[in-house]
Structure 1
């Protein structure tokens, strides 16, 4: 394991996300150059007039319901204005690969994930799917009433339910429940699932708003990410084909820009807002902009040392980290015992197909394992990937520094920036195996085991970290791992042994450092 940045590798036990490629025949990602186009970013939802005032009024009445439904942070994020930077979006687009839904850089793959939707957007990844938002019989009447209000505005002089008219209509309502549903409908239409006419409230959001008003938790993060992937695919296709036609992009691209700010520090605004108590993380970027030019943006993105793999594990004043960012490794064995936080993290790691309306995209977290704190190996094909349920699941500590395998570094050198995917790849994503087995919350993570047919160096396959020569205890453990790995060691035993080895190594490193310090101070001599 090692670092592409310093091109240095040494053996140690590795932690990969499944599936990993079994052979070196897996083709590396490929790219096509892009030309600049001029789409309409209709999903860039900055707050309309009177919105901030209305949010504060509704929060005072309904914040407990929002917390229960998992939308409190996402609603509060809507009051902040993110300045649109066209160059950043196009710099990112230059590296976008629609086949894997990742940005392919010379130093590795990265992408916007469900983790970013939860942390930056404040959306929930748990709950019922909004793609099949089922309305209970007792809520149908509420949906019909809201549709009648919408129809009333459409029949007016403006011929549509404009956002301004909608606010005026519902702020005057004495019925608190109707006002609340009206508020949620506008929030969804403006910031989450906008219509082609971004100033018109769409009918599709009303059933979702009714469910949320009852405190029902819905998975909003997944369809939002699907819309981002789908819009990047459309934009990439237009740019590759040098098309001059105007396209409407409804995805929330402000989350893509903030993703870049959080991870590519050299392109972010130099001064960041300090979070105030209870503010969402997105507030850090309110009203700020980057002045980096497009050529410099491309140059910075090509450098491996400018990318922060895990920005959310770093302590930040007045920001409450989710409970899955811990100071020690956590091993879980039963998916039924996971609380909401741990289920959320498990959901980040599952390769699957994500959908919204007519958009079906692949979600491939194993291509960007280092973003979740895992080591990166050559990603395997998910189309035939199946996993067993109820096996070990590991959450890495905040302090763990993920690395790449040597074979991944060699594989990445073959990335082709000239020849790209075919038109079919640009048009739609491959189908991902989304069976119950493949969607298991568990067995997303494994320790790399010895395979008798693997032709790599034995120590590298076992991924043992090198230790100072002459330490008999370490040598014995290393021999034990090598011997037992050949017999396909049980994953429980391998994880336990790996952590035991890491603990021993840390202890020996402290002793060795202490001895060196004493030697420098003249306490010891040869």
Structure 2
């Protein structure tokens, strides 16, 4: 069983370098001819049609921004804050299993599950209004942005490399561990054909010392905090992933989490648009409803990192704390009109918040200095991750049909890269297998460009 790394060599380049007339999008400076760097693919010819941005239709928005008064009911079942018993279970297992969590790339994600994020409903709704399902990006009057693989890695602690979430394992040891979980599931259930509550599962295993307590713990974490498709119940479909992680194998949770967030932002956007046909929320049958199962709190954390006018005072964090610890239990900043704040945020938007030094924490390898890095089989995981941040791909989630397109070449300034007019990217989503092969296709081109964390990216004149 060999973990996929994504750094095999072939013929596709990620970044191209060329001279272009560049201009700052938020200043009145003159165009300047300089060497610039762009994410592929860009518009290659003036005769090539510019991809449609799918502009927002006024009819899809409510006249005034008062989401609490709209005929709209949103259930955030994937927005999970920790219970004391969960933190206690982590404290029991951490002394023994932290090295395995670190090896599997889930230590920060598990520790992040101990943090609480109070939901700012108006902010989430305001962002969803700007969501463009055709490009999986936010379209603001001042520019285009999105929540990216970078965000789910830095804020969520979810690896972007490793086995796909659809991988069930191929060893006898894994099959035996999965069978034990299924057997214990039957023992808890008894003679009835019912679902097992998460509370039952935890009460049965916590501190029990059973030989599969660790796998049971990871199954609970995965169901509660990563992919909650059955509200309040343990999900047997996560047993294979839990058994993989329990053996220190890395699973690419990042693209799967991001796929679920993209899916839910689209569902929320469509439901907001649908709610405009009702005049009030007085009657329950005149209300648009939606249930969101993804960890949507990451969308709010993404916004807090980037919109100063909406940013609470962050916590001071220690060197080895997860980035999300900055926002643990902070009180959100309430503004009168979130829509107006978002529409006017172009001059202050934080394009690269993770490139800044916070509380003297060392920046990651791909934020430090400008350089061209040779791509070979010895490329470190951090730089492989950075290359995956930059490359258009398909994201495979859990559940039927959860395949979403990832288009970072539309939002290159988020990575310290110059922005040109983005070109169309064909889909590779006929099956989860085809989509996964597209995501983990070889990273090539001889060298990978890493921008300095101090670099101020710009846009081409034609953009």
User: TM-score with structure 1 length normalisation?
Assistant: 0.73
| Per-residue CA distance 1:336-366 (angstroms, 9 max, x = gap) | 2311111111111110111212211110000
Aligned residue for 2:415? Answer: 372
Aligned residue runs from structure 1 range 490-501, under 5 A: none
Higher relative contact order (CA 8 A, sep 6+): 2
Aligned residue runs from structure 1 range 40-119, under 5 A: 40-119=75-154
Aligned residue runs from structure 1 range 6-21, under 5 A: 6-11=27-32, 12-21=34-43
Query: What is the alpha-carbon distance in structure 2 between the residues aligned to residue 153 and residue 15 of structure 1?
Result: 57
Aligned residue for 1:227? Answer: 260
Aligned residue for 2:67? Answer: none
Aligned residue runs from structure 1 range 65-464, under 5 A: 65-155=100-190, 159-175=194-210, 177-197=211-231, 199-242=232-275, 244-269=287-312, 271-293=313-335, 295-317=337-359, 319-326=361-368, 328-356=369-397, 357=399, 358-383=401-426, 389-408=444-463
Query: What is the alpha-carbon distance in structure 2 between the residues aligned to residue 398 and residue 291 of structure 1?
Result: 28
Q: 1:6 Cα deviation (Å)?
A: 1.6
Query: What is the alpha-carbon distance in structure 2 between the residues aligned to residue 388 and residue 170 of structure 1?
Result: 42
Q: 1:391 Cα deviation (Å)?
A: 3.3
Q: 1:318 Cα deviation (Å)?
A: 5.4
Query: What is the alpha-carbon distance in structure 2 between the residues aligned to residue 258 and residue 375 of structure 1?
Result: 25
Aligned residue runs from structure 1 range 467-478, under 5 A: none
Q: 1:100 Cα deviation (Å)?
A: 0.4
Query: What is the alpha-carbon distance in structure 1 between the residues aligned to residue 356 and residue 443 of structure 2?
Result: 33
Q: Contact 2:315–2:327 at 8 Å: present in 1 too?
A: yes
Q: Contact 1:96–1:102 at 8 Å: present in 2 too?
A: yes
| Per-residue CA distance 1:476-512 (angstroms, 9 max, x = gap) | xxxxxxxxxxxxxxxxxxxxxxxxxxxxxxxxxxxxx
Q: Contact 2:122–2:338 at 8 Å: present in 1 too?
A: no
User: TM-score with structure 2 length normalisation?
Assistant: 0.83
Q: Contact 1:135–1:211 at 8 Å: present in 2 too?
A: no
Q: 1:297 Cα deviation (Å)?
A: 4.5
In the alignment, structure 2 segments of 5+ residues that lack a partner are: 1-21, 63-69, 278-286, 429-437
| Per-residue CA distance 1:442-470 (angstroms, 9 max, x = gap) | xxxxxxxxxxxxxxxxxxxxxxxxxxxxx
What secondary structure does 1:331 align onto?
A: strand
Q: Contact 1:280–1:319 at 8 Å: present in 2 too?
A: no
C-alpha distance 296-225 of structure 1, shift in aligned 2 (>3 A): closer
What secondary structure does 1:104 align onto?
A: strand
Query: What is the alpha-carbon distance in structure 1 between the residues aligned to residue 360 and residue 108 of structure 2?
Result: 14
Q: Contact 1:146–1:182 at 8 Å: present in 2 too?
A: yes
Query: What is the alpha-carbon distance in structure 2 between the residues aligned to residue 294 and residue 40 of structure 1?
Result: 23
| Per-residue CA distance 1:31-85 (angstroms, 9 max, x = gap) | 2333552121110011124111111221111000011000010000000000011
Query: What is the alpha-carbon distance in structure 1 between the residues aligned to residue 367 and residue 219 of structure 2?
Result: 33
C-alpha distance 248-66 of structure 1, shift in aligned 2 (>3 A): same
Q: Contact 1:91–1:294 at 8 Å: present in 2 too?
A: no
Query: What is the alpha-carbon distance in structure 1 between the residues aligned to residue 234 and residue 190 of structure 2?
Result: 14
Q: Contact 1:373–1:401 at 8 Å: present in 2 too?
A: yes
Aligned residue for 2:10? Answer: none
Q: Contact 2:177–2:243 at 8 Å: present in 1 too?
A: yes
What secondary structure does 1:308 align onto?
A: coil
Query: What is the alpha-carbon distance in structure 1 between the residues aligned to residue 317 and residue 31 of structure 2?
Result: 40
Query: What is the alpha-carbon distance in structure 2 between the residues aligned to residue 297 and residue 287 of structure 1?
Result: 24
What secondary structure does 2:424 align onto?
A: coil
Query: What is the alpha-carbon distance in structure 2 between the residues aligned to residue 279 and residue 27 of structure 1?
Result: 41
- 1:34 partnered with 2:61: yes
Between Structure 1 and Structure 2, which shows a larger proportion of helix residues? Answer: 1
C-alpha distance 156-43 of structure 1, shift in aligned 2 (>3 A): farther
Query: What is the alpha-carbon distance in structure 2 between the residues aligned to residue 231 and residue 151 of structure 1?
Result: 32
Number of residues of Structure 1 aligned to a counterpart in Structure 2? 404
Q: 1:159 Cα deviation (Å)?
A: 4.2
